[in-house]
Amino acid sequence: MGFGQKTLTTTLIEQDSLAVDHFVSVDSFGALYTINDHILTKRKDQKTWEYKNLQLGKITSVDILNPLKITVFYEDFNTVIVLDNTLNEIKRIDFNLTTEFKNLAAATTANDRNLWIFDTNTQQLEVFNYNQEKTLVKNLPIPEKFITQKSNYNFCKVLTNKTLYTYNIYGSLLTQQELVDISDFSMSNSDTIFLKDGQLFLMINDDIYPVNMPSDRIAIKQFSLHNDILYIYDGIVLYQFQLKKPTKE
């Protein structure tokens, strides 16, 4: 893996004021998801939906890969909630009560009725079917400090303090890329964008390209990448940028 010679350019499409605790992302239908005061909110075409479960406390993560089956993870209570497109509860999985106890660090959406989960007891990534409440696939332990994971239906990337691992739904380790000092990342289709020391970088195959912003003064609080649209939230304003990838030579 190496750093590309080119710097990727971005064009500002839109910017809007946004006062929330956490920007989640924008789904494939253009709906905006945010978290404020432990409440998940979805906004689309001047309509608003909310989900709150104050008994479970702080929302650790929200995965909107499938807007019809949204994965909400509450780490403090070791619980995952699956919501429909109007944020009604479909399924609740309390991993304290499952047949085989698991202590989760992360839970994201996989295919069908499956979740990608990372169990800190074993340091293993698993594919877990929440209807059957059983593990379908279990990968080898990762001997490093877990930071976060992101996924789509067939692939999951696990970020540690040293490495970015990529797995497929069948349990195979596809790639193992050395990356250090990465605080967060987002994946979109085959692309991965990550944050290092306040700078965004896009990974394409084995090359890494710095992402040039029109203004270097944007303090990146949260970000996501969807169909070459880069969303950046600085705690006050939500920016949308068109990301221009390098052309094949």
* pLDDT, tens digit (0-9, with 9 covering 90-100), for 130-149: 999 999 999 999 999 999 99
Per the domain annotation, does 138 fall within a domain? yes
Q: Domain containing 62 — which CATH number?
A: 2.120.10.30
For position 6, what pLDDT does the model report?
Answer: 76
> Residue 182: what are its φ and ψ, rounded to 5°?
-95, 125
Query: Tokens standing for 74?
Result: 């509450």
As for how many domains the chain has, the answer is 1
pLDDT in tens, 4-41: 557 888 999 999 999 999 999 999 999 999 999 999 99
Per the domain annotation, does 81 fall within a domain? yes
For position 1, what pLDDT does the model report?
Answer: 47
**In 10 A of CB 249, how many CB atoms?**
3
**In 10 A of CB 159, how many CB atoms?**
24
Per the domain annotation, does 174 fall within a domain? yes
Per the domain annotation, does 52 fall within a domain? yes
For position 189, what pLDDT does the model report?
Answer: 73
User: What span, in angstroms and rounded, lies between the C-alpha atoms of 118 and 130?
Assistant: 14
Per the domain annotation, does 249 fall within a domain? no
For residue 46, the enclosing domain spans 2-244
Per the domain annotation, does 153 fall within a domain? yes
Nearest residue to 159 (alpha-carbon basis) of 139, 127, 186: 186
Per the domain annotation, does 96 fall within a domain? yes
For position 122, what pLDDT does the model report?
Answer: 97
Task: Report in angstroms the alpha-carbon separations of 246 from 53, 88, 131, 185, 210.
Answer: 44, 41, 43, 20, 11
For position 5, what pLDDT does the model report?
Answer: 57
For position 3, what pLDDT does the model report?
Answer: 53
β-partners of residue 191 are 188
Per the domain annotation, does 44 fall within a domain? yes
pLDDT means per 10 residues, the chain with 249 residues, are 68 96 95 97 97 95 97 98 98 95 97 96 97 95 96 95 95 93 88 92 87 82 92 96 77
For position 192, what pLDDT does the model report?
Answer: 92
β-partners of residue 73 are 61, 80
Full-model pTM: 0.94
